[in-house]
């Protein structure tokens, strides 16, 4: 029977057997696969309909244990769904029938087969369908998984339709509303992870992610569980989703970020150490600036462990800790860092300058030093020991100034083909320079055997003037007499005709190329 599916003859035999005074054990018809076939036979919106005289037999077998209280209501539901009348006319009855879990499961199955057609034909959801889904999520915790799967399938189905973008986004927003409702009634973490996952894969517009985050924060009250905080923070702390204007318009979002210790740190490629401002820190500088440091490390988490040692990072001074560090979806257990009590660097102090535009609560060291360096601790927690840094702006405090990709190359913003060369120094981002080519012409070596170092400070590339003058003349630039000034070109229009500069880097065993296009080594004044 299972191999060919249910048919009226099989159902009639089972019905007669279980209608006898001494029926077989009910466990025989409680097989999950058999139950699913019964539900599909009764409530599928597509395929052949069960003949009227056989429906009671299907319903009898589906609900043998609670037959007296369920049979009549299931028959009523089947009649409503099979009728050609507007379902809205039966809304009151449907809301009453939803109180029974088995009928709610049946309605979900009906909606899935009605709205998501295998032939690709779109049945437009109406508000009534969403009312039923919301009510089922509200009343039946055990059906949350089915509701979640239905919403995921609906989102995929509606997103794939050949419609204008505005119509598709409105349909997606309606599904997002259902996700918010499901989250509110208990299925928080799977819903949050679903939205975050869709955002990372580019499967949902940033405006809908922002809308979702605001709706969730306005619905859910404190206290928040650690899992909830960890799942929602990647949305709230993403500058593309929640920019400065959004925080000002929705203070609850900024409050959530501040209260849940979303530290904003500066990445320092010249330091192997990481630090956060300690709760008991004191500084000898403007009190207004001190008040800006609202996010501080207090060591109250369950994974926090004081090491009983003090540190001096050449300025910042304090006590050493280990704790679980979370950056987006990356978790680093037993991450070593310092809780600074004094000596915060000057660039993070003045509230009228650097720190006023981008409040900094600490530093994350990205120096390639080995041992207990922050970068080494980070890469041990990644699938691949790769950190990709991509920048788009040079202004202090700019939103969306770039991105850092953990565990893989940044294929979204950068050239898919990556080349690697060994570092020339163990603790610094320094590589050897073999030669320089201009648009594939014979190699120049105006710098001689030298090295290239990536630094935190400085917005341009620097080199010894005597050697750079040679390269500038080859490119047709005007050479200045003094150091510290720019090489100039007569007209901005000449940028389009300028060649690429190819820097050949690496050592004798492994080489790669850095290609600088004119817009990368020239600046329009």
* Angle (CA) 45 185 233, round 5°: 115
Listed residue (75, 79, 84, 130) closest to 108, CA to CA: 130
524, exposed or middle or buried, with CB in 10 Å at 0-12, 13-18, 19+?
exposed
> What are the backbone dihedrals phi and psi of residue 394, each rounded to the nearest 5 degrees, phi first?
-120, -5
Q: Which residue has the tokens 């950068």?
A: 414
Percent share of the chain, pLDDT over 90:
19
Residue 290 scores a pLDDT above 70: no
Residue 372: the pLDDT is: 77
- Dig out the tokens for 402 from the structure: 């770039």
Please measure the distance between the N-terminal and C-terminal CA atoms of the chain and give it in whole angstroms.
Answer: 81
Please list the residues that pair with 402 across neighbouring strands.
391
pLDDT at residue 328, as a whole number: 66
Between CA 432 and CA 451 the distance in angstroms is 4
Q: Residue ranges of the alpha helices (H) in 265-361?
A: 287-292, 354-357
Give me the DSSP letters along 457-524: S-SS----HHHHHHHHHHHTPBPPSSTTS--B-S-GGGGGGPPPEEEEEE-SS-EEEEEEPHHHH---
Q: Phi-psi category of 18—alpha, beta or left, where left has phi over 0 and alpha has psi -120 to 50?
A: alpha
Nearest of 332, 352, 359 to residue 276 by alpha carbon:
359
pLDDT-based confidence at residue 289 (cuts at 50, 70, 90): very low
**What's residue 287's pLDDT?**
42
Distance (Å, whole) CA 364 – CA 335:
11
SS3 sequence of 145-177: HHHHHHHHHHHHHHHCCCCCHHHHHHHHHHHHH
- For the stretch 48-91, pLDDT in tens is 777 777 777 776 666 555 665 677 788 888 888 887 677 788 88
Rounded CA separation 327/336 (Å): 15
Which whole number is the average pLDDT over 391-408? 72
Instruction: Say if CB 53 and CB 117 are below 8 A apart.
Output: no
> d(Cα 66, Cα 68) in Å, to the nearest integer?
6
223-245 residue pLDDT tens: 888 788 878 888 887 778 888 78
The neighbour count for residue 425, using CB atoms within 10 Å, is 12
Distance of CA 93 to CAs 243, 411, 456, Å?
46, 54, 68
CA 521 to chain centre: 34
- pLDDT tens by residue, 137-161: 999 999 999 999 999 999 998 888 8
Residue 432 to residue 423: CA distance in whole angstroms: 8
What average pLDDT does this structure show over 384-412?
78
Q: Say if residue 265's pLDDT is above 60.
A: yes
Quote the pLDDT of residue 11. 78
pLDDT of 87-137, one tens digit each? 788 888 888 888 888 889 999 998 888 888 766 555 777 888 889 999 999
Instruction: Specify the higher pLDDT residue, 483 or 59.
Output: 483
Q: How far apart are CA 32 and CA 41, in angstroms?
A: 14
Instruction: Report the mean per-residue pLDDT for the chain.
Output: 81
Neighbours of 43 (CB within 10 A): 24
pLDDT (0 to 100) of residue 354: 44
* pLDDT at residue 184 greater than cutoff 90: yes
Torsion of CA 519, 523, 524, 525, to 10 degrees: 180
User: What DSSP line would sit under 411-473, residue for residue?
Assistant: TTTS-S-------SSSSS-EEEEEEEEETTPSPB-TT-SEEEE--SS-SS----HHHHHHHHH
3-state secondary structure of 131: helix
Of all residues in the chain, the percent with pLDDT exceeding 70 is 84
| Cα dihedral 16, 19, 23, 27 in deg (nearest 10) | 90
């Amino acid at each position: 029977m299972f191999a060919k599916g249910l048919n009226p003859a099989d159902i009639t035999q089972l019905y007669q057997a279980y209608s006898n005074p001494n029926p077989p054990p009910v466990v025989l018809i409680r097989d999950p696969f058999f139950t699913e076939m019964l539900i599909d036979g009764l409530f599928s919106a597509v395929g052949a309909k069960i003949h009227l005289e056989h429906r009671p037999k299907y319903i009898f077998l589906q609900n043998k244990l609670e037959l007296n209280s369920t049979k009549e209501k299931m028959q009523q539901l089947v009649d409503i769904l099979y009728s050609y009348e507007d379902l809205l006319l039966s809304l009151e009855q449907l809301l009453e029938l939803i109180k029974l879990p088995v009928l709610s499961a049946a309605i979900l199955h009906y909606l899935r087969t009605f709205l998501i057609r295998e032939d690709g034909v779109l049945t437009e959801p109406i508000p009534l369908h969403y009312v039923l889904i919301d009510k089922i999520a509200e009343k039946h915790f055990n059906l949350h998984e089915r509701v979640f799967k239905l919403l995921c399938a609906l989102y995929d189905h509606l997103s794939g339709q050949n419609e204008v973008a505005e119509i598709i986004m409105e349909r997606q927003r309606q599904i997002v509303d259902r996700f918010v409702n499901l989250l509110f009634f208990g299925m928080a973490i799977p819903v949050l992870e679903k939205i975050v996952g869709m955002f990372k894969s580019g499967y949902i517009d940033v405006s809908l992610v922002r809308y979702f985050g605001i709706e969730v924060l306005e619905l859910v009250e404190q206290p928040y569980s650690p899992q909830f905080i960890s799942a929602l923070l990647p949305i709230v702390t993403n500058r593309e989703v929640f920019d400065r204007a959004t925080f000002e318009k929705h203070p609850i979002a900024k409050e959530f970020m501040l209260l849940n210790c979303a530290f904003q740190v500066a990445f320092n490629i010249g330091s192997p150490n990481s630090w956060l401002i300690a709760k008991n820190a004191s500084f000898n500088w403007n009190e207004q600036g001190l008040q800006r440091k609202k996010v501080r490390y207090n060591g109250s988490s369950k994974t926090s462990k004081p090491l009983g040692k003090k540190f001096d990072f050449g300025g910042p001074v304090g006590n050493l800790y280990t704790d679980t560090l979370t950056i987006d979806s990356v978790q680093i257990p037993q991450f070593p860092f310092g809780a600074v009590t004094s000596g915060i660097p000057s660039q993070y102090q003045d509230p009228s300058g650097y720190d006023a535009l981008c409040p900094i609560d600490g530093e994350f060291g990205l120096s390639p030093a080995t041992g207990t360096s922050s970068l080494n601790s980070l890469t041990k927690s990644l699938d691949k020991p790769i950190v990709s840094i991509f920048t788009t702006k040079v202004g202090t405090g700019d939103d969306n100034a770039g991105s850092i990709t953990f565990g893989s190359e940044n294929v979204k913003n950068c050239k898919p083909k990556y080349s690697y060369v060994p570092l020339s120094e163990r603790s610094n981002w320094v590589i050897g320079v073999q030669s320089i080519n201009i648009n594939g012409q014979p190699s120049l070596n105006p710098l001689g055997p030298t090295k290239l170092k990536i630094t935190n400070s400085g917005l341009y590339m620097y080199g010894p003037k005597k050697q750079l003058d040679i390269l500038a003349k080859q490119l047709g630039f005007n050479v200045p007499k003094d150091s510290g000034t720019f090489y100039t070109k007569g007209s901005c229009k000449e940028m389009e005709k300028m060649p690429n500069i190819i820097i050949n880097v690496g050592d004798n065993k492994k080489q790669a190329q850095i290609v600088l296009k004119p817009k990368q080594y020239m600046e329009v004044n």
